Structures are given as C-alpha cells and as structure tokens.
Structure 1
Amino acid sequence: MTARFSSLFLLLAAASCSRDTYFQPDARVDYASPLPPGTDSARVTAGRHYRRGPVGRFFLGSHYRRAWAQPVLLPVFNPQTAVPGGLRFGKVGGGFQTTSMTLLGPDGRGYALRSIDKDPYRTLPKALRQGFILTTVRDATSAGMPYGAFVVPPLAAAAGLPHTSPRAFYVRPDEDGLGEASERFRGKVVLLEEKFEGKQNIAGPVAGAQDLEESEDVLEARYASPQHRLDGETYVRARLLDLWLGDWDRHEGQWSWAGYRQATGYTLWKPVPQDRDQVFFRFDDGVIPWLISRLAAKFRTFKPRYESIEGYTRNAVFIDERALAAVPRSSYLQAARDLQLRLTDAVLEQAVRQGLPPEVYRLEGRNIITALQARRTALPQAAADFYRLKARTVMVAGTDEDERFVVERLHDTATVVSVYTLPLNRQNPAASLQYRRSFNPAYTRTVVLHGLQGKDEFLVSGTVHRSPVLAVYGGPDADLLQDSSRVAGLRKRTRFFDTKRNNSLQPGPETKDRTDHSVRSHAFDRDGSGR
C-alpha cells in the first residue's frame, strides 16, 4: 500500500510540475527579442505555463490549456490612446488573485485594468503556500476560459442587461505609464473595462441613473429605509444568464447597482453584473478536479447539460436571498422564455466569433456555441429548478423604520405576506405597500420575517391545512405579534424570536414563543460582512 501511495504521489507531483518560477516570464512569444518602440500589436500567450503532458492532463484535466497556450495577436496597451483623452494612474487594486488597478480618464471616469491570469497564492493558508499543493491550486486557473469575458457583452446586450465592455491588451515589458503599478503589469496579458461605481461612472448602459453604488452600500440603504428597493425582476434575468453561461462566481462583490428615482419617490436599484472571469468554466475533466468537484459543489463545469443548479449558485446565496425575495415563480419562467427568444443562433455565433481571438475560436468556438444552444433549450427547466431551490426558505426583511407585516394563510396553496410602512396611508393603503408575495407550501417550507429596527407589527391570520412555517424576528425595538391563524396538525407553524422584554405577544394555537433574555435574535447581516 505504501509503495502504491508513493508512486501515486510522485505521479501527481510530476503532473503538477511544482517549481519556484511558475508563471511565464513574459506573455510575448518572442520575449527574448526587444519590442520596438511604437509597436501596436504583439503575439502573446495568456499562459503557456499551463501546458501539461499526458500524465498531467490525466490527473489535472485538459481544461482550457490549449487556449491559454495558444499564441494570439493582441494590441499593445498604451495608456495615452486606450480611451479618448488617455488614462492616468488611479490606485492599485486589492484583488487576492489578479493583479489589478484603477485608471482614470480625463473626465474622472474609472477603468479597471487587471491581469487575465491569476495567482491564488494569497488565498491559501501560509502552510500551503509552497510546493505541490500551491502549484496544483495555481494550475486550476486553466479551468477558466481566458477570453470568455470578451464573449459576454453582446450576449448581455441581447438579453437586455447592462454590461461592461472589456478589451484585451498586452503590456510592454518596459511600460512606465501605470505609476507605481507599472512593474507589476509588465509583460502581462490584461483586461481593461469601465468601472460602474460612483456617480462619475454613470454612462453607457446605465445612463439616466441617479446613483451607482456597490452591493455593500446599496444593501445598507435598502435595510435603512423603504425608499430603497432592489429590482428583483431584472436580477432574476441576470442570474439566468449567469446559469446559462456557467458563471458560478457571482457573489455580492460581483455586482454594482444603478439607482433610478421612481415617480412615487423611492429609488429602484437595478443590478449591473461585472467580473466575468468564470464563464464557460471547465473543471471536472481530470482525476483530481473530478474529486474536488464532488467535494466542492460550486465548481460546476460548463457543458451542454446543466450540472448542479445548487452548485452553480452556491457563491451567490447571500445576494440571491436578498435580491430574489419578492420574485414569484412566473417571473423566473417568463424570463427564461424571453431569453430563449433573444439569444438566437445568430447572436451566439457573432458573440463567440467576435469575443474569442481567431486562433482560439478554431480550438474552442464551435464547442462553446453548441453547448450554449443546448443549454438555451433547457433554460426553462433550469429556471424552474432555480426557483425551487430559492423558494425553499425565503427571507422577507423590513427596514429600520416602523412596518406592519401581514401574513394571510388564505388556503392550502397560498400564504400571502404583505409589508406596509407605518403609519398606514388611510386614504390609499396601497401607497404604504412595499412588499407582497404569495407562497405555496409545495415550494416554500419556511418564510423568515425580519422586522429590524423600528416598532414593527406582525399580524398572522387564516385557517388552512397546509402552510409554510413562519419564523418571525422582531428586532431590537418594541414589537407586536398577533397570531390568530390555525394550521392542521400538531406542529406549531409560527415561531417568534425576540427578547423577553418590551414586546407584545398575542399568541394563538400556532404560536411558539421563542423569546429569551439574549439579543442574539436581533443579529442580521445587512451587507455580507457578518458571514
């Protein structure tokens, strides 16, 4: 057994090619020759260090190694001509895996410049930042399509979604126009795209917005006041596009939000997807990544059929829970059908041909198009599965102001939750309505209500045989729970979590009092920092 283990370890070590100098010294194929001044293009590889022999490909997977090692012709990056008026140094980025920075245009608009290749060195514990393990983790970068992000813009445009418009460049080995970051970028293949953060960057697909913010700030505003709402209908369309593209890394940091003032006074925040590093991800085609994909469900491979919807969406659980809380099943299905009509074969062909360098298109283009066509056909079923996953437990949060949560257990297939601002508009109660959704217990097991701050009221009524469990978290101020509902069976279906003091509890046969002397029930992660 020991001899077999030793032999396997040696094979794996040889396959991963552990070495001190892992990355290519320069992306240019003929980097040993000087690049003449004024040269506007160069023949480069995104990552020829990902080439592996038969043993390496068997254990580590073929991934997109051919695309990474394929020489392609790219423009040479010139800060003075990359955008009209030129670019100047802004600040060095803080990405854990990519080399990144912010550049500024003459009008103050920001642009992100980042390396296409990645180095996960800083994401690993210090004890693992060397040898075989580090090299194996670095090698997994080859599972990403290096030019996939450039295919997305025309697809997003056809889908009716805002998008960035990234461009690929090669940075000269003697570039000095990037300020203190110049040395970090020399000799690399990079991606340049406009940033969608801050009012100075309101332009193009978000023209007309009044604000442009990151998820952290938008969520903080959303839970502070009912004057801020998330556009769940647009968000579900964007998430179905993510599923279709196999883009599994869509956590809250991958989104900006454009704020539009509505006639009734509140701001509607529309999602702006960013950072398309993981589209067309291909991972489970080697012994080691296949095993890893069984242990870490989020590493789902892009292929003609959808793998695990739960896996594709695992990284986005936090932002999905908040942005999809009001979206019914019909919207998922309608968005899927609409995307099928918009994303025609002609759109796919044009996007893949224009987005991939010609040399890479010959290697991978037809496979990607074929997979996209098959996944388009299956998109409605993927949407239904996505809804079923997100509908199991739904969180409905109020704001820091006073609100009334009305839960009506109408019949066995409909429990309706409505949230009103207080005091109610007596002449026009609909003007006070900020949320409403009907829940079918066939899909939804639990509805979680968070009052947050403010003096909130929770009114529960109705007599039925089936209904989701209702978990009510009142929040730090004095709250009221009035429960007159009745659901068949012995299990109580309304649970109230709060402190023992300063709350008014009017229980019914369904009420389970979960109050205690702790303030733990008041905890609520607003922006993702509490995870």
Structure 2
Amino acid sequence: MPPRLFATLLALGALSALLGGCARKNFFQPDARPDAVRAQPLPAATDSVRGATAGRQYARHGRLYGALVGQHHRRSWAAPVTVPVLRLSNVYPEGLTPGKVGGGFNSTSLNLKTVDGKGYVLRTVDKDPIRATPVALRKTFLVNVLRDNVSSTNPYAALTVPPLAEAAGVPHTSPRLFYVRPEDPLFQGDSLRLFRGQLAYLEEKTSVPVASQGEILSSTQAFGEVFKKPTHRLDQAALLRARLLDAWLGDWDRHAGQWNWLATAANGQTRIAPLPKDRDMVYYRLDDGALGWLIGHLFLRHWATFKAHFANEEALLSNGKYLDDRGLNELTRAQFQATAQALQQRLPDTLVARALRRLPPAAYALEGPRTTAALQTRRAELPALAERWYRRLARRPVIGGTAKAERFEIHRYADSTVVVVSSVAQLAGSVPFYHRAFLPAETHQIQLEGLGGDDVFTVENHGVNATAQPRVRIYGGEGTDELRAGGSNKGMRFNQGSVPAKHAYDKLPEE
C-alpha cells in the first residue's frame, strides 16, 4: 500500500473514532445566545445581545482532541461577544428588502437590495460544508470531519480586512456583524431558517470603489472578454497588489470564483480591474494538531496555515494559479519588487494594530497580539516572497492573443528575448497590448498562442550573437497563421494548431 494512502486511511480512521461513526444530527448550536438566555424571548426593542457566540460547538472537545486534531480557532468561535440586532428596515437609511437565498458550498446567504437597487448580501458566520460532500457520504463521519474543520477559520477575521485593503489600494467590502432575531418576521420562511438566532455578516454585494463607473463582470465573463477582444485588457498591476495582499493575509482560497471584475471603457480601450470578495480564509489555522498537520502537509496542501513566516507559499498561492498565469504575465521583476515595497510602506504598525482591534474584545484577547506580530513579520518578508513568486511565474510564461488577428513580434538579442503583441487592425503608431523582455537566466520557455484570427508571427535576430534561449513555442490556433523568421530558428518551434483544450490559454475559468 502506498505510504500516502496508508497515512490517509490512518488519519480518517482516527478522525472517525474521535468524531463518531456517522453524521451528527444536532451538530450546530441552536442559537448564538447562551442556552440560559435564549430560553427567554428577545424583546422586540432590544438593540444588541451580549454573550453571543459564533459557534460554541467547536470548543466542546478536550485536550486530547485538541492535540490530535488541532485547537485551530475554537476558542474564538466560543468567545462571548456583544453584537447589534439586525433590523433590515433601518440598518441603512434607505432600508433593505430581502431577495433570494443563495450561497456556495459552505455559506448560506441572502441577497438584499435598497430602494435604489444597490445590492447587499447577508451571510451566516458559521458554515455547513455538507453541500460540498457527495450525497452518498452525507450520513457518514466525513460530514463531521468537514464541519469540525470550519474551526480552522477565524470567525471574525473579515472584520480586520477593510482598513488593510483600503491602505493597500485593493477594493474591498465592509462587512458588519449582526445577530438575527429568531422572532424577526422577515426571517420566518423555511428557506431562511438557517439565519434565525445566528450571527451573520451584512456587506455590499461587490467591492466596487466609491464613484466608480463601469460594468461588473464575473471571472468567466471577464476572461471571456479578454480572449475575444484586444481592446479589453486586465489591470495586471492592480491584480498583483491584490494577490500580494492575499498572500500577506494568508488567504489561500482565491480561485476564480472569489473575484468580480470592474470593466471601465475609455478612449476605445476597456480596463478590467479585480474586485476581490469573500475573506473567510484569512488567518487560517489547520496544522496545529497531529492530524491537522498530516492533512495540511500531505493531502490538502493548499489549505495553508497562517504563520509568522511564509511557509508552504506555493500551496498558499496555488488556488489563484489561473489568474496569475494569465493576469500577471506582463509584469517585470522590478514591478513585483516595487509593489511589495509599496505595500510595506502602506501597511505600518499603527494601521495593523488598529485593524486587529476591530476584532470583538474577547476574540482580540485570544488572537489579536499574536496575529499582529505575525503580520508585521510577514510584511518584512514581502519583497523576498515577491522575488520567489516572480521567478516561478517567469520560468515558463504563456502569452495569448485573442479571437482577432494579431501580430506577434519576437526580437532576439544577445542578452534577452522581447515579445510584442499588437492587433493587426490597430493604427500605425498605436501602443501594443503586450510588451515584455525575457532574460535567459529567468525564463526557460515562452509559449505563444495565437488563438483565433489570421495571426502573423515574426522572428528577428538582432546581431550575430542573438540568443537561442529561452526556447519559444508557437501555437497558431484557429485561422491561417504565418511564421516569418529571419536568420537562425534555433530554439524555435511553430505549430499551426492549438494546444490541447484543457491546457489552452483561452480556457475559461471554473467558478
């Protein structure tokens, strides 16, 4: 039996013994208020509740369980907090009207709107990952394992992000924590039962900057536009800022579904800027127990634990690989370094301390000082992280055209290879939509994909000592493409067709 499979079975067997052989029917706390208090109806005029907990069921285990599985953030989930009571009619001056219930595999959310159409969302702090579990396994201990793993997240971490993101120049929502009264008449429908008596976050539906004008796109829509039209380009500098902030906060869950995009048109060009959403995995902690360590280091490496130093950074960044490969492929080493250093300047100690004080007092007492110190250490390491990350991305970059006809220019010099991509339809003298120099010491291979249209690839060797490194692989894609090469073609390979569909540059993201 392979060692990794044996270790998996051993870990699951141990968890089965600890968590029980089948899914618990009453896993979650019935109400955020303590049992002794919730026996009494909450007066309608009550403004806030005291002693509420985000999920005290996560802290019901003993020391042995904590040593084996991990303490995670269990104490924060059980910490008593004071929370305002939600009243949709006056939480904002214009009020909020409930819409459809939704949510991903873990969260339950309620869409809301103001009278002028601005969108908000209410989502429970606690999660239930049963929807992510195969139907055949929903009555087994695996559900207990996944539910208990929610304790790896910090229930109040999202409250600390807005001032940090604001200073970093990254769009953000501003979540507010509330208690939903079980007796609230607006939450009596059966589809709303999971909100009753629970803590929930209310926030804007999208993280659009104030006074911004443009169209909100999903990741699938945004990349679809980029692949179709040379006039639509991603704001790569803005994406790098956002991704470095992700890394600093330890937010590993940054797949394409965790982003919206703002498309803004001006002077015949459309800039598509990232709008991050869902900060549930900030300050994640999994590997502080023997089994948690085993799971996080051997099987689910992208479930990266937040620590004072960047550990397992490739796994930390891996969920955003689709975005990084296509949205950071024009940026230079100097731009990576400048962005990291700018973040260091924008995120001083005073700001970090103030942001962490947004945690409820009881939760701050448990996690605030340690998290503050870790963020300060990680901030000092941002340039080194950016350097290593840049080198990984620069090793084998992929550059694509669009569904229209493009001109790809490959200029080979003694010390570098320069790639320039422009639209055939562009006027003479207009700025190309891609331009970057690649160094042999950093880049082993450059892959160019023409995609649609009748593309032209020209290769120019400048000087008798023009480099043959990095290698260049050209895929013409659809249309009638042409390679025009002058001089030596050493290190070049041209293919009229496309790469396999699952590896194609223009494969749309899965959300």
* TM-score between the two structures when normalised by the length of structure 2: 0.91
8 Å contact kept, 1:88–1:177: no
- How far did 1:465 drift? 4.2
> Who is 1:453 aligned against?
452
Contact 2:101 2:192 in 1 (8 A): no
Given that residues 223 and 526 in structure 1 are in contact (C-alpha distance below 8 angstroms), is that contact kept between their aligned partners in structure 2? no
Partner of 2:182: 173
2:49 equivalent to 1:42: yes
Q: Output the amino acid matched with 1:345.
A: D
Unaligned runs of 5+ in 1: 500-514
Q: Which residue of 2 aligns with 1:504?
A: none
Aligned residue among 379, 386, 405 for 2:408: 405
- Residue 497 (1) aligns with residue 472 (2): no
1:115 is displaced (CA, Å) by 1.0
SS in 2 for 1:177: helix
Residue matched to 2:346: 342
In 1: Cα distance, 2:188 partner to 2:273 partner: 34
- State the 1:114 CA deviation: 0.9
Q: Is the 8 A contact 1:399 1:453 kept in 2?
A: yes
CA gap of 1:493–1:129, structure 2 versus 1, over 3 A, is: farther
Contact 2:401 2:450 in 1 (8 A): yes
Could you tell me how far apart the structure 1 residues matched to 2:431 and 2:237 are?
21
Give how far 1:523 is off: 5.1
How many residues are treated as equivalent by the alignment? 493
Is 1:415 the equivalent of 2:412? Answer: no
* Amino-acid identity (%): 42
For residue 4 of structure 2, what is the aligned residue in structure 1?
A: none
Please list, as runs of the form range in 1=range in 2, the aligned pairs for 1:325-404 lying within 5 A after superposition. 325-354=329-358, 356-404=359-407
126-135 vs 448-457, which moves further: 126-135
1:386, distance to aligned residue in structure 2 (A): 1.4
Corresponding residue for 1:72? 81
Partner residue of 1:221 out of 215, 221, 225: 225
Question: Structure 1 segments of 4 or more deviating over 6 A?
Answer: 5-10
Deviations along 1:123-167, one digit per CA (max 9) or x if unpaired, are 122333233222112111111111001100000111122211011
Partner of 2:193: 183
Q: Is the Cα–Cα contact under 8 Å of residues 402 and 456 in structure 1 kept in the other structure?
A: yes
Instruction: Please report how far the alpha carbon of residue 77 of structure 1 lies from its aligned counterpart in structure 2 after TM superposition.
Output: 1.2
Partner of 1:292: 295
SS at match of 1:235: helix
Distance 1:123 1:520, change over 3 A: closer
Give the secondary-structure state (helix, strand or coil) at the position aligned to 1:320.
Answer: helix
Q: TM-score, normalised by structure 1?
A: 0.88
Deviation at 1:31, TM superposition (A): 2.2
Q: Give deviations 1:228-247, integer Å, cap 9, x for gaps.
A: 11110111011111111000
Higher relative contact order (CA 8 A, sep 6+): 2
Change (3 A) 1:248 1:14: same
d(CA) in 1 for partners of 2:94, 2:55: 31
1:157–1:393 distance in 2 versus 1, CA, 3 Å: same
In structure 1, what is the equivalent of residue 29 of structure 2?
24
Q: Which amino acid aligns with 1:151?
A: T
Whole-angstrom distance in 1 between the partners of 2:406 and 2:14 = 63
Instruction: Tell me how large the CA RMSD over aligned residues is.
Output: 2.4
Inter-partner Cα distance in structure 2 for 1:361 and 1:390: 37
Q: 1:417 to 1:61 in 2, by over 3 A?
A: same
Counterpart selection for 1:236 from 232, 240, 244: 240
Q: In 2, distance between residues paired with 1:82 and 1:449?
A: 52
Taking a change above 3 Å as real, the CA distance of residues 385 and 7 of structure 1, as seen in their structure-2 partners, is closer
CA distance 1:206–1:252, shift in 2 (3 Å): farther
CA distance in 2, matches of 1:316, 1:6: 29
Match of 1:303 in 2: 307
Q: Please report how far the alpha carbon of residue 9 of structure 1 lies from its aligned counterpart in structure 2 after TM superposition.
A: 7.8
| Equivalences for residues 244-323 of structure 1 within 5 A | 244-262=248-266, 264-295=267-298, 296-323=300-327
1:255–1:155 distance in 2 versus 1, CA, 3 Å: same
Name the CA shift for 1:13/1:31 in 2 (closer, same or farther; >3 Å).
farther
Does the aligned pair in 2 maintain the 1:498–1:521 contact within 8 Å?
no
Give the counterpart letter for 2:98 in structure 1. F
Quote the Cα distance in structure 2 between the aligned partners of 1:10 and 1:522: 37
User: Shift of residue 212 of structure 1?
Assistant: 2.2
Unaligned segments of structure 2, at least 5 residues: 1-7
Question: How many Å apart are 1:485 and its aligned residue?
Answer: 5.6
